[in-house]
Amino acid sequence: MLFEKRLQHMKRYREIALASSKSGFGYIVEELGLDEVLSLPKRLLLRRDEEHIEKTRGERIRLFLEEMGPTFVKIGQVASTRPDLVPEDIINELSKLQNHVPPFSYEKAEEAIEEALGAEVGDIFETFEETPIGSASIGQVHRAKLITGEAVAVKVQRPNIEKTVRNDLEILHQLAMLAESRMQWARQYQLVDMIEEFSRAIAEELDYTIEGRNVEKIGKQFDTDPTVHIPKVYWDVTTKNILVMEFIDGIQISDLDALDAKGYSRERLAERLTHAIFHQILIEGFFHGDPHPGNITILEGETIGFLDFGMVGKMTKEMKANFGSLLIAMMRKDADGVVRAITRMGVVPDEVDMKALKKDAELLRDKYYDVPLGRMNLGEAVQDIFGIANTHRIKLPTDFTMLGKTILTLESIVRQLDPEFSIVDVAEPFGQQLLKERFDPRNIADQAWHQWLDLSDDFKDTSSNLHEFSKGLKDKKVPVEIQLRRSEQFMKRIDGIGNRLTFSIVLLSFSIIMAGLIMSSALSGRSTILFNFPAIEIGSIVAVIMFVGMLYSIFRSGRF
């Protein structure tokens, strides 16, 4: 069994090497040493098809992925959502990757359904259309009607696709490890981490029950909103590789002629779609990650219907707050605020040049300086920010980049519906609500409490580490090597933290004294006039001023 798997892998390695050479990437095969392992002649590695000679590197990568099949196409599609990791010219080509592949036979679909559900197709469905209405790399969709009479869409996974995908992902992981061991650019781009991240996203799409739960979760967001419709999932006939959902029969949102023929208002559709997307992102924190025109349909009454929930994004409270900070900084043309937001959103490498990062943020500010808020292209602005992150090797969470692509796609659809419509106008109330939540005293208190708990844990760890360190010094067994980058900036930050801790301790001590005076006055029934001064009143005013000053310094720093 192991030998057979290794043989399959070697065969696949050879296919990848030959396709790479054909697309003009034979030099990578050589650098990886695959030419020697696979005994490939030099002429094959140097071969390059004439049709590829005049093409850009982005086009050649896209054609290579399409030739290599479903797993590689999916990898490319996921990579197209990561402008913080992948250069723009390649992103533009990856976004053109076609997910449409020839359908598999009805007989295979029937066999897959009966094996998964343990019953014949005729016992489950009253009617079942043999020709699929859509076919993609992972599966295909058939229209049917349940025995109980409901019209449904049945998504059937391709036979053996999971095995094929997992084998390919395993090979890609091995190639990424080999690349990092031999090539500087692969280490710089953290290729192994990138492949692992993409693999997790693809693995989720192989389990249709995950998509079913995504549908239900987004459906609950719009339970009371009649302008948005999310299809129902029929769980009694849904498994890991079969998904049965309510069939939605509407007009594709990009079919403008059909929408006009129905007398639908394009402006109202643009507003409803934008509101639905921003509600998912900024209020619920769980959103449709691929709202392209094929996944949005218009139903009777100008109702927005969403389809295909295999790709979703998630936004935690912290992520929403960071994104809100980014939007606010952009709207205020605040370059420092943009830098702070970007560095809080992602993993910043030690060697990042903060001066260059700020300069790029200032250039971005200048680009949008005279643009009125209502005319700002929000999707493009977010993509520009992700471009800065890519330039400075700042790795952002997947959900942030998915958010950027979602907004970009939304703007593209809205621009077709109504060129004068601004999604920023719809987004503004959501941003205001985010601000209210952010500065809500209860949320601030909750954040302060958790930060205090984290700080307590850090102090405990520090105490333990210092104890171990001192023991090592006594035994003379502590080799120490310290390397500080940007030491001046580091020391300033340490000074700031120390000053703020000192101030907090003074404020706490003062508050304890004031509390003692108040309790003493209450128990004794005597006045607290000291040297002709009302001590409690004046002390309370001083405490309030100190507290407000501390809050101001925290908010001004943007680190809370």
3-state per-residue secondary structure call for 262-317: CCCCHHHHHHHHHHHHHHHHHHHCEEECCCCHHHEEEECCCEEEECCCCCEEECCH
Same structural domain, 351 and 311: yes
Task: Answer yes or no: is 536 within a domain.
Answer: yes
Residue 41 domain-assigned? yes
Q: Mean pLDDT, the chain, as a whole number?
A: 78
User: In the prediction, which pLDDT does 371 show?
Assistant: 65
CB 273 within 8 A of CB 296: yes
Residues 462 and 391 in one domain: no
CB-CB contact of 401 with 81 (8 Å)? yes
Same domain, 477 and 508: no
pLDDT band at 292 (very low <50, low <70, confident <90, very high): confident
Domain final residue, candidates 204, 229, 263: 204
Mean pLDDT, residues 55-67: 87
Phi, psi of 297 (to 5 degrees): -125, 150
Residue 498 has pLDDT above 80, yes or no: no
For the stretch 98-117, pLDDT in tens is 655 788 999 999 999 999 99
Instruction: Tell me how crowded residue 118 is: count the other CB atoms within 10 A of its CB.
Output: 10
How large is the average pLDDT for residues 26-55? 64
Task: Report, as an integer, the average pLDDT of 511-523.
Answer: 59
Alpha carbon of residue 282 to chain centroid = 13
Helix (H) or strand (E) holding 27: helix 26-32
242 strand-pairing partners: 156
- Could you read off the pLDDT of 429-442 as tens digits, one per residue? 776 666 666 666 66
Question: 3-class DSSP state for residue 101?
Answer: coil
Residue 482 confidence (pLDDT) above 60: no
- Domain contains 58: yes
Asked if residues 276 and 222 have their Cβ atoms less than 8 Å apart, the reply is yes
Contact at 8 Å (CB) between 358 and 339?
yes
Question: Are residue 395 and residue 273 in the same domain, yes or no?
Answer: yes
pLDDT above 70: residue 264: yes
Let me know if residue 155 belongs to a domain. Answer: no
Q: Are residues 318 and 455 in the same domain?
A: no
Task: Report which of 253, 204, 205, 200 is spatially closest to residue 228, judged by C-alpha positions.
Answer: 253
pLDDT at 235 over 90: yes
What end-to-end distance do the CA atoms of the chain give, in Å?
Answer: 55
pLDDT, mean of residues 108-129: 95
**DSSP code string of 406-448:** HHHHHHHHHHHH-TT--HHHHHHHHHHHHHHHHT-HHHHHHHH
Based on the domain organization, do 71 and 198 belong to the same domain? yes
Residue 216 lies in a domain: no
| CA nearest to 253, candidates 379, 417, 419 | 417
Does residue 429 belong to any structural domain of this protein?
A: yes
> Who wins on pLDDT, 468 or 19?
19
User: What percentage of the chain exceeds 90 in pLDDT?
Assistant: 26
Asked if the structure places residue 33 within a domain, the reply is: yes
Instruction: Say if residue 173 is in the same domain as residue 283.
Output: no
pLDDT: which is higher, 493 or 219: 219
Residue 260 belongs to a domain? yes
181: DSSP letter = H
Q: Which domain holds residue 85?
A: 2-98+163-204
Lowest-pLDDT range of 37-46, 112-121, 200-209: 37-46
DSSP state of 347: B
Note whether 375 and 472 are same-domain residues: no
Q: What's the rounded mean pLDDT across residues 26-45? A: 66
**In the structure, what pLDDT confidence band is assigned to residue 339 with cuts at 50, 70 and 90?**
confident
CA distances from 307 to 79, 115, 205, 232 (A): 22, 26, 14, 11
Q: Are residues 474 and 533 in the same domain?
A: no
If asked whether residues 432 and 547 sit together in one domain, one would say: no
Residue-level pLDDT at 494: 59
Of 103, 106, 100, 112, which Cα lies nearest the Cα of 73? 100
Q: Looking at the structure, do residues 338 and 324 belong to the same domain, yes or no?
A: yes
pLDDT of residue 32: 77
Q: What gap in Å lies between CA 385 and CA 339, rounded to an integer? A: 10
407 and 506 within one domain: no
Q: How many domains does one find in the chain?
A: 4
**Residue numbers annotated as active site:** 290
Give the integer Cα–Cα distance in Å for 117 and 109.
12
pLDDT at 227 over 90: yes
- In this predicted structure, what is the pLDDT of residue 554? 56
Please say whether the beta carbons of 511 and 543 come within 8 A.
yes
Q: Which residue has the higher pLDDT, 360 or 229?
A: 229
Q: Where does a domain end: 460, 481, 502?
A: 481
| Global pTM value | 0.70
pLDDT over 60 at 182, yes or no: yes
The alpha helices in 39-160, defined as continuous H runs, are 42-46, 50-53, 57-68, 70-79, 88-94, 106-117, 121-124
